Amino acid sequence: MDFFKSQDIARKNTGRLVVFFSLAVLSLIVMTNLVVMLAFGYLNAGDLSSNTTIELFDWEIFFKVGVVVITVVALGSLYKIRALSGGGARVAEMMDGELIVDGSDDINKKKILNVVEEMAIASGTPVPPVYLINEHGINAFAAGYSPSDAVIGITRGAIETLSRDQLQGVVAHEFSHILNGDMRLNIRLIGILHGITVIGMIGYYMLRTSSRSRRSRNGGGLVGLGLGLMVIGYAGTFFGNLIKAGVSRQREYLADASAVQFTRSRDGIAGALKRIGGNTFGSVLTNPNCAEISHTLFCQGITGFFNSLFATHPPLEKRIRIIQPDWDGKYDATSAEDDYRHKDIGDGTIGYEGEVKGAAREAIITRKETMSTIAAVMTSNAILEQIGKPTVSHLDYASEIITGIPDALVKAVHEPYSVRAVIYFLVLDEDKEIRNKQLRHLESAADSGVYEETTRLINQVSGLRTEHRLPLVEMALSTLRQLTKPQYKLFKENLVTLIKADDRISLSEWAIQKIVFHHLDAVFGRKSVSIRQYKSLAQTRYSCSVLLSILVYSTTHNGLRQQDVFNNANLELGDIDVNFLVKNKLDLDKLNKALNDLVQLKPLVKPRLLKACAACITADKQVSPVEAELFRAISDTLDCPMPPLLIQ
């Protein structure tokens, strides 16, 4: 299944969720009415067996109770959705997760951070913050409304028990949920199903309160009502578990398949599943909030009665056999420490450090072998097949990219204090006079110490390669999310000032600014929970004209007429007719407005627009690093993560 179909299915699944939820609420209304009427004598227990029960209903009371139930469920759901408005970080906090800021003091933390960074850069998404869940069970989750506010949660049992290849398989599985839109559905599921359980909570508190007033005339009725509402609360949990199971199971098979495609290894994810089967603690988590997020986990996280009926994940053996049909049925009780004890990595270094060095060397070789292949893909329609579907070639390239970035920048990008200096460094002008103007501004306006960090990077780093720029931005976004709102506001103002210091904005500067603001505004402004109105290409004709016109003017075509390039791009849009706009009527503000409009396109029409954009930059059969950077920035803004384009 391709990225755009997955996005469309995720959108339709949200509609299915609303239908299931509505049916569950309707059932709760009927049951609550029965409890109320029985508790207060509107119905006799004997009447329930007769065919006249409906006739005996007091319909005025029925509708009043129905309104109360709907209100309670709605308020409970809205409260939870509000509580989760911070995105994936709120889910990690529910599980008492510890944010891993810097893994230099712990080899296991360093291992998982490195794996997540590689996966994110290979996927073309921001590197998500990683939270350590202090549980012995082997499990993980991805949570958030979008890649902008996504997080990865990983248990201590997972990073201490799984090998690096197995962790890659698990993280690739979670990135599939990020890329395919499953996360948004999962976090909404947590929110709206919370409302169903609120009725049971009310029953519990009514029971406690009524125990003090049993002598009153309605004391017995309140006790009966409280007990009844508690039973209804359990029924709500029953419905909620059924809904989660129905929505989640099939997506887990798809995520497993995506992980195999991403890593091109069946052994990684299958090995992780086998170790779960052979581990004493399995994948079970003890945190009481685990039940709420069970459908977001890598593997079944809770146990109980009717486990097969309510299971949010397929059985381990079924998942393994689909990945490895010739599996011998034996689980694996070894650990990552056992792996390292018996593994010699090429250069004689045993353990994680040697494993990373070996992987980096292999990536460079693979990169040389695959460069021409992926460069050729850029000149064909197959470019769209890469969106949301990274491959092992992209993963190898990401490993090489991280290895090639200067150490000073890699260290700085992981520290909340110095990460701002990294972004400022990327937009400093080559002209000495303009750069000095930019630095004077930072000296007077930046937070204490950030100017000094920026000058330190200038002294330590020179000749940064173009292909390192966007990966650095993607790595920085995770750390920038740790800023406070005032710090982010100041950072944003300073970045705009630095970019405008030469009275113009280059497309490279625009690409960095657009990606940073697109993802961080969603976090600090909490725009990610807004309801989107999906549009057709015909409704965005002018925005298409602006985007394609700017692309034609901004890219090289080696002798081809600009009008001809635009016309060829226009053909990819299908039956809508856009206009090639005059250059002096275009600016980057119009481009930003156009992209804000185009991001609301229906998922299944976005490929036509992106194919038209690709036609602009590949018209001369060559793609420069700057053109690749521009195309990736546009794709990212349209919520279509584009893996790195490897250019010869």
In the chain, where the domains are located: 3-89+185-251, 99-181+262-341, 404-526
pLDDT at 517 exceeding the cut of 60: yes
User: How would you label 394-415 residue by residue, b for 16+ Cβ within 10 Å and e otherwise?
Assistant: bbbbbbbbbeebbebbbebbbb
pLDDT in tens, 518-545: 999 988 875 544 445 678 888 999 999 9
Residue 97: the pLDDT is 94
The one-letter code for the residue type at 136 is H
Residue 40: the pLDDT is 61
Residue 9: the pLDDT is 63
User: What pTM did the predictor assign?
Assistant: 0.81
Residue 644: the pLDDT is 80
Q: Up-side HSE of residue 348: CA atoms within 13 Å toward CB?
A: 0
Question: Mean pLDDT throughout 416-421?
Answer: 90
Question: Mean pLDDT throughout 571-584?
Answer: 88
Phi, psi values for residue 637, rounded to 5°: -65, -30
Beta-carbon count within 10 A of 249 CB: 14
Question: How is residue 349 annotated by DSSP?
Answer: B
pLDDT at 370 exceeding the cut of 60: no
Question: Mean pLDDT throughout 491-520?
Answer: 90
E strand intervals along 165-279: none
pLDDT in tens, 202-257: 766 666 665 555 555 555 556 666 677 677 777 767 777 777 776 677 788 888 88
- Separation of CA 129 from chain center: 11
Distance of alpha carbon 398 from alpha carbon 393, whole angstroms: 9
630-to-143, 331, 461, 469, 551 alpha-carbon distances in Å: 28, 47, 24, 12, 9
Indicate the helix (H) or strand (E) that contains 340. helix 336-341
pLDDT in tens, 80-117: 888 888 889 999 999 999 999 876 678 889 899 999 99
Residue 70: the pLDDT is 85
Q: Which of 118, 135, 174, 474 is flagged as catalytic? A: 174
Is 400 designated active site?
no
Distance of alpha carbon 101 from alpha carbon 114, whole angstroms: 12
Residue 423: the pLDDT is 96
Q: Look at strands 98-99 and 140-143 and give their pairing.
A: unpaired
pLDDT at 189 exceeding the cut of 60: yes
Task: Report, in angstroms and rounded to the nearest whole number, the Rg of the chain calculated over CA atoms.
Answer: 28
Mean per-residue pLDDT over the chain, rounded: 80
- CATH no. for 99-181+262-341: 3.30.2010.10
pLDDT in tens, 264-288: 888 999 999 999 999 989 999 999 8
Residue 211: the pLDDT is 54
pLDDT in tens, 426-461: 999 989 999 999 999 999 999 989 999 999 999 999
pLDDT at 473 exceeding the cut of 90: yes
Question: Mean pLDDT throughout 602-623?
Answer: 85
Pick the most confident of 10-14, 285-289, 370-374.
285-289
| 65 — pLDDT class (breaks 50, 70, 90) | confident
**Residue of 260, 280, 275, 250 whose CA lies nearest to 325:** 260
Contact 268, 165 (CB under 8 A): yes
Distance of alpha carbon 153 from alpha carbon 553, whole angstroms: 44
The one-letter code for the residue type at 236 is G
Pick the most confident of 4-18, 203-217, 355-369, 499-513.
499-513
Residue 220: the pLDDT is 56
Distance of alpha carbon 148 from alpha carbon 478, whole angstroms: 9
Q: Counting every residue, how long is the chain?
A: 648
